[in-house]
Structures are given as structure tokens and as C-alpha cells.
Chain A
Amino acid sequence: MKEKKILTSDAAAELVKSGDVVMVGGFMGCGSPPEILSSLEKAGTNNLTLVCNDAGWYMPDKGMVNGVAPLVLNKQFSKAITTHIGLNSEMQRQMLSGETDVQLVPQGTLAEKIRSAGCGLGGFLTPTGVGTEVEEGKEVIEHDGKKYLLEYPLKGNVALLHASVADKAGNLLFARSARNFGPLMAMACDLVIVQADKIVEIGELDPEAIITPSIFVDYLVQTVNAEGK
């Protein structure tokens, strides 16, 4: 099987272009690729649309800054599609002041929008958000006596993910709760770049244990500082 190219994190960050829709794996930073994000912060690429579960931790007084938070602080996102920004006061400030267009989406809906894009579906019906602000501007469809919102798929240009182990073909394992949105985003983006803590030879991974198949992955980045979260 063909091997995927292994890039430095700086080279990987250069593949992200201004204006891109960037999907970043992770849940409160757990599952976000720290070294690729750090290079992207350094590159300063802006006018990006962020798709991520949350905006990471931004509580500098407690020494808690992770995930996409430094890029939020750097104003690299002009738009964010996310579920929760409660632990990032800067993202809340940018939303309330109108500096960043933040769209809050229910977490299950965000997951399914991404999954739909990756699975070739035109959308789905969910009961989540019926009778709330989430319903505004959406089609309500009644089926079997129950109301649902019609939600559309969400595609991205680039996915930035963090795997625990990759083989050189790009098959991925994720560490424990760091899996979250990773496998879904890998299917929904044109370009998929994965920071892997360990890269092994093709054939070393148990095919029954692989979580994300290699065909979704374009580039690998070997983690330099494995202690980093």
C-alpha cells in the first residue's frame, strides 16, 4: 500500500489557506493536534472558518490555554461553527462584540452534519432544537407525529486531527476520549492532515482495531513533543 507523505508541522500549516473552512478535532483540546495548531498560529493564516466542538480552554490566569484558543486570540477565525465556548472568555467576547461570527450548533447536530457530508447524504432530520432558537430559518418536517428540523451537511476544506498511532498508509488509532470528532472530520474534508504521536510501518496495526481507514488521510505529521497534550 502507498505511503502517505510525512510533513513537519510548519509545512502542514502552510497547506491551510486564508478563507478555508478548517475542521479541528478535539473536545476541550483533547484530540486537537497541538503542534499543527501551534504552527498555524505562527503562520498567522487568517479569515478562516473554524469548525470545532468548542473554542478550547482560555483561562490564562489558571494556566489553562489549549486547543484552538491561541488562534482565537490571534483573530485567525472570522467565523466559527461550534457547540460550546463557555471555557473561552475571549471567544465569548468576540461573539458578543460582533468581531467574530459565531454560530452555536447543538453538539449532536454538529456531529451529524459533519458525518452527513462525509457520507454523501443531503441532510437529516433531528428532533434536537425544535421549539428553540436553533429552529429559526429551518424547515420543520413532521413525520410519524413528531417534529424534526431539516439539517444540511457541513463540509470542510481542511481537517486537522490528532491520532495516537498512524501507520504509514494513514490508518489511524485515537487515544481514548481524544477520538470524538476526528473520525467524522476525516471523512468530511478535502484535505486531511493528522498529527500522530507514533507512526508505525504498514501492516503493524491490527486491521480489526483501526478506527479511521487510511483512504481518508492525506498527510501525516510526527509529533515531536509527545508529552504535549
Chain B
Amino acid sequence: MEYKPNKNVIAKRIAGLLTDGSVVNLGIGLPTLVGNYVPEGVDIILQSENGFIGLGPVPEKDSIDPFLVNAGGSPVTMIDGGCFFDSSMSFGIIRGGHVDYTVLGVLEVDQDGNLANYKIPGKMVPGMGGAMDLTVGSKKVIAATVHFDKKGNSKLMKKCTLPLTAQKEVDILVTDVGYFEIKDGAFILKETFAPYTADFVKENTEANLIVAEDFKQVEIV
């Protein structure tokens, strides 16, 4: 079976996991795409760790406000009902368990729910920004990544090798191949996205993998 990376599939499936009324923090990059696919009838509140809730869509070019940016420093808008606060309040919201879901991109994720995404020693040191607080404080941590790296290695690892962003905090992993829960030292395969099958995942995973009793193959459209 041929694998083709597809970030939109990941974003669409994650959007379907978010419950109505929840407070959600979307990381920069792939996770930001999730906002494009929230189903109709599901009303979520997006938190931006640089200091507000009520994050809205990207503005038109001629209505950019230089004082309204997201946590990546890019111009955004605010929806009605949103509000601003300082960084202490923002991280009080985050660490205090008031964010229901945080969605983050990862460099590595393992079967124990460890996550690495802020540093490649000697090579790249972007820094953790808010990621360590978000993973520790959010009720559910959803990791988002393509299923294979550029060399074709599965991103589902037995043990992370890079410096960790957080220890045992990842609850859910969504790739462009499937949706996994991470529990008791294993990836639990809940869904694959057609055309991928459970056998395909099994053949390509070295980490502990359990196919859930209620496993199903689904079509992401």
C-alpha cells in the first residue's frame, strides 16, 4: 500500500474530536489547520497563549491589525465575545486545567505518551515557548503528525530520543493513517483512514500497538 502524506486528513479528524463548547489551543503549523474543519454545530473557543480567547480567522490583507497576532506572531482576528489578558492569566488558564484540548505538532511521540517537539541538540533550538505548559496543563493533549518521517520511519516510537517537551502527557495521536489513543504503554489503534488498514499499521509499527475492540476503518472526506 502506498503512503502519501496528507495533513488535511489529520486536521479534519482532529476537528471531529473537539466537543461543543470546549476551550481549545491549536499549535502553530499543522494544528492551526484544525480550525478550518470544525463541524457545523460545534462551537469551540480558541485560546491563544499570547493572551486571549476568541481567536478568529486570518484577516483580509487590508484589515490587518499589527496589535492582534497569534502565538506564531501572525495577524489574526478576534470573534465577538473574546477577551484579552496578560501572560500570567493566560498560563493560569493553561496550567490550571481550563483548556480542554491542546493540539500540538511533534518531532517525536512514544508509546508512553512522551512528546518531543522543541529542540534537536546541536542543530535546532527554537525553544519550548508555551508547549511544556500546554501539555502539562490541558485536559487532553492531542499530538498531530504525518505518519512517517522523510526517511520512511514510523513516527510511532517505543521511546523518544530527543529532549522531552513533556513526560507521559499525550492522550491522543492523530496521523494521516489513523487515530490512536495512548494508554498503559501502548498505541491503541481506534481508526484507520481509508485506504489504510489495521494490517498496514501493524506491519509498519515497532512500538507496542493494540488494535481496539471497536476499531474501524473510516473515510475522511
When the two chains form their complex, are residues B84 and A177 in contact, meaning their CB atoms are under 8 A apart?
A: yes
When the two chains form their complex, are residues A133 and B91 in contact, meaning their CB atoms are under 8 A apart?
A: no
* Residue A38 CB within 8 A of the other chain: no
* Residue A75 CB within 8 A of the other chain: no
Instruction: Pick the residue among A111, A115, A131 that contacts B166 (CB under 8 A).
Output: A131
- Give B91-135 interface residues, CB cut-off 8 Å to A: 91, 94-95, 118-119, 122, 124-133
Instruction: Pick the residue among A106, A134, A182 that contacts B86 (CB under 8 A).
Output: A182
Say how far A163's CB is from chain B's closest CB, in angstroms: 11
Q: Complex: how many Å from CA A182 to CA B87?
A: 9
When the two chains form their complex, are residues A175 and B167 in contact, meaning their CB atoms are under 8 A apart?
A: no
Say how far A19's CB is from chain B's closest CB, in angstroms: 25
> Which residues of B have CB within 8 Å of A95?
125
Segment with Cβ contacts to B, from A8-16, A27-35, A215-223: A27-35
When the two chains form their complex, are residues A132 and B133 in contact, meaning their CB atoms are under 8 A apart?
A: no
When the two chains form their complex, are residues B94 and A179 in contact, meaning their CB atoms are under 8 A apart?
A: no
* Residue B66 CB within 8 A of the other chain: yes
- Give A158-190 interface residues, CB cut-off 8 Å to B: 164, 174-184
* Residue B16 CB within 8 A of the other chain: no
Say how far A191's CB is from chain B's closest CB, in angstroms: 20
* Residue B71 CB within 8 A of the other chain: yes
* Known A92-B126, A178-B67: A108·B73 in contact at CB below 8 Å: no
Question: Which residue of A is nearest B129, CB measured?
Answer: A84
> Which residues of A have CB within 8 Å of B192?
none
Say how far B207's CB is from chain A's closest CB, in angstroms: 19
> Which residues of B have CB within 8 Å of A178?
67
When the two chains form their complex, are residues B127 and A82 in contact, meaning their CB atoms are under 8 A apart?
A: yes
When the two chains form their complex, are residues A179 and B129 in contact, meaning their CB atoms are under 8 A apart?
A: no
* Residue B68 CB within 8 A of the other chain: yes
Q: Complex: how many Å from CA A38 to CA B125?
A: 26
Instruction: Pick the residue among A86, A111, A174 that contacts B126 (CB under 8 A).
Output: A86
Instruction: Pick the residue among A104, A111, A184 that contacts B128 (CB under 8 A).
Output: A104
Instruction: Pick the residue among B49, B68, B125 that contacts A176 (CB under 8 A).
Output: B68
Q: How large is the interface on B (under 10, 10 to 19, 20 to 34, 35 or more residues)?
A: 35 or more
When the two chains form their complex, are residues B132 and A106 in contact, meaning their CB atoms are under 8 A apart?
A: yes
> Which residues of B have CB within 8 Å of A49?
none
Question: Which residue of B is nearest A110, CB measured?
Answer: B87
* Known A132-B167, A176-B65: A27·B124 in contact at CB below 8 Å: no
Q: Complex: how many Å from CA A174 to CA B87?
A: 13
> Which residues of B have CB within 8 Å of A85?
125-127
> Which residues of B have CB within 8 Å of A132?
132, 163-167
When the two chains form their complex, are residues B84 and A176 in contact, meaning their CB atoms are under 8 A apart?
A: yes
Instruction: Pick the residue among A30, A54, A108, A183 that contacts B91 (CB under 8 A).
Output: A108
When the two chains form their complex, are residues A181 and B72 in contact, meaning their CB atoms are under 8 A apart?
A: no
> Which residues of B have CB within 8 Å of A86?
126-127, 129
* Residue A229 CB within 8 A of the other chain: yes
Instruction: Pick the residue among A29, A102, A108, A181 that contacts B130 (CB under 8 A).
Output: A108
22 A-B interface contacts by CB (under 8 A): A27-B71, A28-B69, A54-B129, A82-B127, A86-B127, A92-B124, A92-B126, A102-B125, A106-B130, A107-B130, A108-B87, A108-B94, A112-B88, A127-B137, A129-B132, A131-B164, A131-B166, A131-B168, A133-B163, A180-B87, A181-B87, A211-B86
Interface residues of B (CB under 8 A from A): 48-52, 65-69, 71-73, 78, 84-88, 90-91, 94-95, 118-119, 122, 124-133, 136-137, 163-168
